[in-house]
Amino acid sequence: MMNKVNYYLKSEEIIGDLPQKAAKPKLLLHACCAPCSTFPLTYLCPHFDVTIYYQNSNIYPEEEYNKRLNELKRFLHDFELKNNYHVELIIPLYDEKQYYAFLEKYKDYPEGSLRCFACYEKRMEEAYKYAQINQFDYFTTTLSVSRFKNSQKINEIGAKLENKFLPTKYFYSDFKKKDGNLVVEKMKKEYSLYQQQYCGCRFSYSEYLKRHK
């Protein structure tokens, strides 16, 4: 078994190598909800000019997609008031039907396996493409903040996509480390954030319903 990479240390190394007296680099952050954006923004905003890309056509149903989006908008407004960091929000077209057609071939895989890895990569690739086209210096995702998601796999995907979308560099991260997950819990209470009960896609929604019969 291969040794796991400490991606928190890699993120610290990237930040440590940033020019100290230059304008902040532009970073595009793929984010799936308000709670998952809490600690990553706290960590990134002192060092980067951050824009969030809400690429989440996986979320089912559309009412849930909009609920998470509106909560993210509210959080960004309150976060700016409290911390004086303005974070732009880009919202691409929602197309759950197209996303369902993509994920259907993985429907028999359990949550946390190949279905989820394919979902991570599709959303990250679409967001990374936007970052390259719009000349962002870095791209990353909030996905690694969740204790339910495989940070090793997420960063492997990021490294692969970096080769495709240079010169935009990938910002390696494991946002759950160094008490990042505890900060998330604290900030959820501080900002009174809605916490969804399932990951997002219609398959995870069905699994959630089965667990709560």
Strand partners, 51: 28, 88
What the block records as the tokens of 117 is 């890895």
pLDDT in tens, the chain (213 residues): 457 899 999 999 999 999 987 899 999 999 999 999 999 999 999 999 999 999 999 999 999 999 999 999 999 999 999 999 999 999 999 999 999 999 999 988 888 899 999 999 999 999 999 999 999 999 999 999 998 899 999 999 999 999 999 999 999 999 999 899 999 999 999 999 999 988 999 999 888 888 877
Give the CA-trace dihedral at 156, 157, 160, 162, to 10 degrees: -110
DSSP, collapsed to helix, strand or coil, labels residue 176 as coil
DSSP, collapsed to helix, strand or coil, labels residue 46 as coil
DSSP, collapsed to helix, strand or coil, labels residue 132 as helix
Please state the pTM of the whole predicted model.
0.95
Rg of the chain on CA atoms, in Å: 17
